[in-house]
A = this chain, B = another copy of it.
Amino acid sequence: MKEFDLIGRYFSAGGHKRRDVVIGIGDDCAVTMVPENQQLAVTTDTLVADVHFLRDAPAKSVAYKAVAANLSDLAAMGAEPAWISLSLSLPAVEETWLSDFVSGLYELTQYYSVQLIGGDTVKGPMAMTITAQGFIPPGSELTRSGAKPGDWVYVSGTLGDAGAGLDILQGKLDVSGEARDVLINRHYFPTPRVAVGTAMRRIASSCIDVSDGVISDLKHILSASGCGANIHVDRLPLSRALTSAVTQEEAIEYALSAGDDYELLFTVSEEQRGSLETSIASSNVKVTCIGQLTGHSDKLMLYKNDEKYEPKQSSGYEHTF
């Protein structure tokens, strides 16, 4: 099958259509319009089979996760998602796999009103690169570098579920019943926190999404902002599924070091805490204060019940060479 047919058959037909897309899939470029008084946020993420996702994962979840990871980066910037481009490398055309992949892709793009505007399909090892774009009003972007000593550290949702889900799938963790399904689902179908990100515009002083574990990602904020942090591991938000499946200590380790939760980690000044509560009320997502920033540059201190805590793994998950 020719690659052009492949693109045509699976990607051209469906998916959400936006009025700001002048030319979509099928020409040398897509042509789009950015609204007046909006900046453009751009992010690119690559997922390689057996590095970033399991090769035998359901195709629907592979697409879902690839899109979610990119929308999560937009959310971490406070941007509202608009368009994605997809480059898909596959060793061979398997029609069922492709059809499931497209259904996962379009499920998420439909939900977030995002249009697939183009891309490329090539024969090669299983991998995909998505470039996602969104809008953000000038001066409203949430960076990693705006945090200040004294700011409070918050995280959305619950942490550690996706990591436990991955361990279940790889046979490293034995969990049964509903908790098993919940944790595996959190690994396969992460939720990009788009509503939380846009709600945090002009409220959070810094923001990042938790893709490599909360310790690792918090360190990026600390480094970019020149701050330290005191984090209380007993305040980490844990799901009932996770706490029913593992010991409290194991749950804390998953929450600190496991990747792919795609929750938002952000900081809020004392003055903005009132606005945070008002703003987050409408988003229907729980946020939890897990600690406070200090002036000790790059110094991350962990506490459990106010005593110093040493994590088993000192840094988060990172794809290394």
Contacts and interface: CB of A to CB of B under 8 A. Distances in A.
Contact of A31 (B29, B122, B125, B141): B141
Contacts of A261: none
Nearest to A47: B122
A51 B122 contact: yes
A85 B224 CA distance: 21
Which 9 pairs across A and B sit closest by C-beta, in order of nearness?
A129-B129, A48-B124, A28-B76, A131-B131, A29-B41, A29-B77, A44-B85, A29-B43, A46-B87
A174 interface: no
Contact of A52 (B40, B41, B117, B122): B122
A300 interface: no
A45 B3 contact: no
A41 B40 CA distance: 13
Interface string A195-207: 0000000000001
Given A87-B44, A124-B48, A127-B124, A143 B27 contact: yes
A123 B51 contact: yes
A171 to B, nearest CB: 23
Nearest to A208: B28
Contacts of A118: 42-44
B74 A1 contact: no
Contacts of A144: 26-28
Interface stretch (A155-163, A252-260, A284-292, A313-321): A313-321
Interface in A25-78: 26-34, 36, 39-48, 51-52, 73-74, 76-77
Size bracket of the A interface: 35 or more
Contacts of A275: none
Interface string A207-223: 11100000000000000
A173 interface: no
Contacts of A92: 321
Contacts of A250: none
Given A23-B141, A77-B31, A120 B46 contact: yes
Interface of A: 1-4, 6, 22-23, 26-34, 36, 39-48, 51-52, 73-74, 76-77, 79, 83, 85-87, 89-90, 92-93, 117-120, 122-125, 127, 129, 131, 133-134, 136, 138, 141, 143-145, 207-209, 224, 318-321
19 contacts: A3-B318, A27-B77, A27-B144, A28-B73, A28-B77, A29-B76, A29-B141, A31-B40, A31-B77, A42-B85, A43-B118, A46-B89, A48-B123, A90-B321, A120-B129, A123-B319, A123-B320, A125-B125, A129-B129
A41 B30 contact: yes
Nearest to A30: B42
Contacts of A4: 318
B29 A42 contact: yes
